[in-house]
Each structure stands twice: as C-alpha cells, then as structure tokens.
Chain A
C-alpha cells in the first residue's frame, strides 16, 4: 500500500449521513469506516455490510449449554450415585427429567448469552485497556464521520463529499 491517506468527511445529521453514504456508494467509492455517536438505523444496509451471524453462534452455544447440563446431571444424579432423594425416580434420566429441566434451561441461556457476548467482544476487538480507535472525539457526541481512503483521486472525492453536505472535509495522513 502507498503512503496511505484518508479523507474524513464530517456530518452533523444522521439523515444527511445516510444520503451521503448512498451517494458515495453510488459513485463506487469504498467507504472504510463510519463513526457515529449512536446506532443509525439502516446504515449497515446502505453501506452494504454483510449481516451478522452472531445469532447462529448463540444458537450453537445454547446447544452446548443444553448438552453440558444433560451430561452433567445424568452423570451425577443417575450414573455416579443414584440415591433415593425424597422418592424421586433416579433409574434413568428421562424418568427424573422434570426436576432437571430448570437447570437445563438456565444453562442453555447462560451458555448462549455469555459465549455470545464474549464472541462479540472478540470479533469487535473490545477489551479493557484497549486503546480507543476514535479519529475524532466529536463522533462520540454529536458528529458523524465517514472515512474514505484516497488513491490519488482527492479532488474528485473532495468535491463529491462537499456536495453531500459534509460540514468539514479533512485530508489525513495515516502514518502507519
């Protein structure tokens, strides 16, 4: 990659941002990132981002939790030491299953929720003491920032962005 330069176009309204994203996409420029202070409904679709698969992951984690609960209680309560506790039938897992269902349910939810959150942190690279990647602190308050890499076409890009209603356009040298 050449000495990489990016353009930061700053907007102060999510509607203007949305139409700007659509225009930039229509002009076939690649949008590197968009920084917003809050979720903008439909932004991912306008940018053409692939849908998330985290729900599928959560479902699989839930199945893991269900398996853990079943195997654990089958071993402890049925195979390892099948005591008679208050007349509950501990001859087979199925016979005593109603008593296990609350645990099976909770562990399914527990695995599903926690592993999904951890997956989310890993995939979006978030952890304590992580250095913030914010190019402009105003984007956490009331400004929206679109980052587009420049490949020797600054003029055209700048004029396009100013047409889209950007309040500020900065050429940034990203020293890597």
Chain B
C-alpha cells in the first residue's frame, strides 16, 4: 500500500494555493476600462513597434502625419479616432479573455492527461498486454483525475458564457451570433444547452468506465475465478468504441469551437495524440517517482523501456498529425481555413514552431537509443520536455482565438498550471493510497512481473 507522504501533500496544497493566488491576480488585473486600454495602446505605439497590432497603428499614424499638413487633416483625424475606438474595444476584450483562457488551458491540459491514461489503460486491457499489468494501479490512480478534471473543464467553459462575458467561446454570445451567418448555420450544434448536455454525456461515459474498471480490478485481486477480468475486458472494448467517438466530439466542442469559423476533420485525432502522449509520459514519470521511493519493486527498467518506446512512438504520431493538418492547409491555402494558421504563425511564431521542436525533435533524438530509454533520469528529462511541449500545444489551440496577439505566459498562465497541477497531484496520489500497488489477481500479472526485453 502507498502512503501519501505529508511532504507531497503539503507540496500539492501549496501549489494549489499559489495557483489560486495567481489565477485571482489574473482576474483582478484583466479588467481594464476603455480609456486605460487606449492610453496603453497609444503608449505602445509611441514607444516601440512590438506586436503586430502596434505596427498597424504605427503605419496609420505615419500616414496621418504626411496628410496632416494637407487641408483634409481634420477628416482623417476623426476617422482615425473612430477606428481607434473599435480597436481598443477589441483589445479590451482580448485582455479580459486572458485569465479565462489561461485557466481553461491549464484545466484542459491536466484533464487530458487523465483521459489519455484512461484510453491507454483500456487499450492495455483490451489487447491483453503482458508487459503493463504491473503499472495498472498507477494508471488507475491517474485516471481518478478524469471525473473532477473534466467537470472543471466543462464548468469553466460554461461559466465563461454565463458568468463571464463570453471570454472563451464567442458562439455563446447571442449578439455575435445575431450578426454572424456562419455561426447561425452551426447553432444547431453550437448552443449552450446542447454543449452542456453533450459534455455531461461524455464525462458520464468516461467516469462510468473508470469506476467499473477500477471496481473489477480491485475485485479481481482476491477472486478465485477470472470473472472480473473478463468483465473488465468487455467494458474496455466497449469503452474504446465510445471513447473514440466522444473524444472526437469533445475536441470539436471544447477546443475547436473556440474558432467557430474554422473546422478540420483531423482535429479529433490530433487532440487525441496530444493527450495520449502526455498521459503515457505521466505514467512514466509517476512510476519512476514511485520506484525511487521504493513502492514499485516489481517494476524494472524493461517496463520503463516499453513506456519510453510509447512516448517516442506517440510523439512521432503527434507530429505526423500536426504536420498533416498544417501541410494540407498550407498547401491548398484556401482563405477560410488558412486563417487559423496565419494567425498562429504571425502572432505565435515561437510557441507554434517551438512546440514542434519540443514534441518531436527532442524526443526523437533523445529516446531513439535503446539504452537511453532504460535510464530513469533521461526519461524524466525527456518527459518534462514532452509535457511542456503539449501544454504549449493546448495553449496554441486556445489562445490565438481568445487573446490573439495579447498573449504571454505570465502569472495567470503559470498560476493555473500550479493550481491544476496541485489538484492533479492531490487527487492522483490520494487515489493511489486506496489500493495495493500490484494488481495481483490479474491473470497476466506474473508475465508482467517477469517481463524482460
């Protein structure tokens, strides 16, 4: 049995408190009045040509200067001021969106780790893998985060449309919809009640599978027959069918609909690859941590090697999907779909291409060697890079649609990572104390304990 060390518990609580403070700070400082935004924009325009919005105003100002001497100077001035108002309002909204989006990205990132592990766990059971059963209890503990995590994500999404000012999903804003035929056409799918119901159905499906898989797994520990194993095999197969549909729709709802004018068929798989590789990485990090504390003496470097192979392979799979999505749209360059990447490449150059380095080049070069995959500190190092890279991936999916070029990874973003990271550690390690760390009744457990590569 695992005991949740007081140190780690305190650590997770400190993370949550710090995170909460950061998130609170984000919300306190994000609401600027229109005048404040205008002075800020004017200052930015006069001081430096930093972002792209500023550059645009710069050009306008220059044009104004040359025409200023001419007779119709007044007219230009009035027009400029009017345009400036609309621009400032836009920027004001973007700045108000930032703490919401930061919170949402953090919540989604940790939720997707739990969900990715749940899918991985179901695949291990349905495929009757012989190497992984010694890691089942670690996976089950991580999946404990799926229910609270997914509910939090859904709650933030709905709250942004009810409490907030449509800070994440603009299709929730009836005023926007009224002037937008494209969104009107999609309102059969994109409307708040349906969004909530769909979300709850997905979460119920995942949580039910998790509940019963865990129940059968523990019941199998001291059972004489394999009935629980057979049941868990059957529900795993059924869950995987449900999962691939629900995950796909979840990614349209929770991620893709931040850009309601844009759509992509590959998107569900792409989000899946991201969650799958993050989940597998967390399994590796958790088992290395628990083994270093002496809780998993039945896990050896061969198991680590296999997990690291999955990290390696799914990282490449993610890149394959990322590139397929990017290249198809870049190549055909159809205006209505290419804006998605244009806004990312213009305003998010470093995160957008940086994540390819983090999620592809780094794992490929570091985890290619078979010996390196067996060295714990090496896997930990690569794992941290992969997790950071996939946080950036989610960041790149949400932020350009909500805050545009007003992004930064500052206190609101780091605060929400700390908040949900702390919650994740707390929930997962609490779940870990509830059952022995070896699923000893599982029929393939002996094979797994003797597994070597």
Task: Return the CB mask of B329-345 against A: 1 if under 8 Å, else 0.
Answer: 01101000000000000
B28 at the A interface (CB under 8 A): no
Task: Return the CB mask of A84-105 against B: 1 if under 8 Å, else 0.
Answer: 0001000000000011010000
Q: Which residues 317-336 in B have Cβ within 8 Å of A in the complex?
A: 323, 326-327, 330-331, 333
Question: For the complex, what is the distance from the CA of A99 to the CA of B323, rounded to whole Å?
Answer: 11
B208 at the A interface (CB under 8 A): no
A98 in contact with B330 (CB, 8 Å) = yes
A59 at the B interface (CB under 8 A): yes
B327 in contact with A101 (CB, 8 Å) = yes
3 interchain residue pairs of minimum CB distance:
A98-B327, A98-B330, A99-B331
Interface residues on A, range: under 10
| Chain A residues positioned under 8 Å from B331 (CB to CB) | 98-99
B368 in contact with A59 (CB, 8 Å) = yes
| Chain A residues positioned under 8 Å from B323 (CB to CB) | 98, 101
Residue of B nearest to A98 (CB): B327
Residue of B nearest to A88 (CB): B331
Q: Which chain B residues have a beta carbon within 8 Å of chain A's beta carbons?
A: 323, 326-327, 330-331, 333, 368, 370
Instruction: List 12 A-B pairs, Cβ < 8 Å.
Output: A55-B370, A59-B368, A87-B333, A98-B323, A98-B326, A98-B327, A98-B330, A98-B331, A99-B327, A99-B331, A101-B323, A101-B327
| Chain A residues positioned under 8 Å from B327 (CB to CB) | 98-99, 101
How many Cβ-Cβ contacts under 8 Å join chain A to chain B?
Answer: 12
| Chain B residues positioned under 8 Å from A98 (CB to CB) | 323, 326-327, 330-331
Task: Return the CB mask of A52-72 against B: 1 if under 8 Å, else 0.
Answer: 000100010000000000000
By secondary structure, the B interface counts as helix
| Chain B residues positioned under 8 Å from A99 (CB to CB) | 327, 331
Residue of A nearest to B323 (CB): A101
| Chain A residues positioned under 8 Å from B368 (CB to CB) | 59
Known contacts A87-B333, A98-B330, A101-B327; 5 further A-B pairs (Cβ under 8 A) = A55-B370, A98-B323, A98-B326, A99-B331, A101-B323
Chain A's nearest CB lies how many Å from the CB of B140?
Answer: 32
Chain A's nearest CB lies how many Å from the CB of B360?
Answer: 12
Chain A's nearest CB lies how many Å from the CB of B345?
Answer: 12
Specify which of A55, A59, A98 lies most central, judged by the most chain B CB atoms within 10 Å of its CB.
A98
| Chain B residues positioned under 8 Å from A87 (CB to CB) | 333
Question: For the complex, what is the distance from the CA of A44 to the CA of B326, rounded to whole Å?
Answer: 46
Question: For the complex, what is the distance from the CA of A27 to the CA of B326, rounded to whole Å?
Answer: 62
Question: For the complex, what is the distance from the CA of A80 to the CA of B81, rounded to whole Å?
Answer: 50
Q: Which residues 133-155 in A have Cβ within 8 Å of B in the complex?
A: none
| Chain A residues positioned under 8 Å from B333 (CB to CB) | 87
Question: For the complex, what is the distance from the CA of A172 to the CA of B323, rounded to whole Å?
Answer: 62
| Chain B residues positioned under 8 Å from A55 (CB to CB) | 370
| Chain A residues positioned under 8 Å from B326 (CB to CB) | 98
| Chain A residues positioned under 8 Å from B330 (CB to CB) | 98
Question: For the complex, what is the distance from the CA of A87 to the CA of B326, rounded to whole Å?
Answer: 17
| Chain B residues positioned under 8 Å from A59 (CB to CB) | 368
Question: For the complex, what is the distance from the CA of A55 to the CA of B371, rounded to whole Å?
Answer: 12
Q: Which residues 33-64 in A have Cβ within 8 Å of B in the complex?
A: 55, 59
| Chain A residues positioned under 8 Å from B370 (CB to CB) | 55
Residue of A nearest to B369 (CB): A55
Question: For the complex, what is the distance from the CA of A15 to the CA of B330, rounded to whole Å?
Answer: 58
Chain B's nearest CB lies how many Å from the CB of A10?
Answer: 29
Question: For the complex, what is the distance from the CA of A99 to the CA of B326, rounded to whole Å?
Answer: 11
| Chain B residues positioned under 8 Å from A101 (CB to CB) | 323, 327
Chain B's nearest CB lies how many Å from the CB of A60?
Answer: 12
Question: For the complex, what is the distance from the CA of A171 to the CA of B15, rounded to whole Å?
Answer: 75
Question: For the complex, what is the distance from the CA of A59 to the CA of B333, rounded to whole Å?
Answer: 35
Question: For the complex, what is the distance from the CA of A98 to the CA of B323, rounded to whole Å?
Answer: 8
Question: For the complex, what is the distance from the CA of A101 to the CA of B322, rounded to whole Å?
Answer: 13
Residue of B nearest to A99 (CB): B331
Chain B's nearest CB lies how many Å from the CB of A113?
Answer: 15
Question: For the complex, what is the distance from the CA of A41 to the CA of B370, rounded to whole Å?
Answer: 18
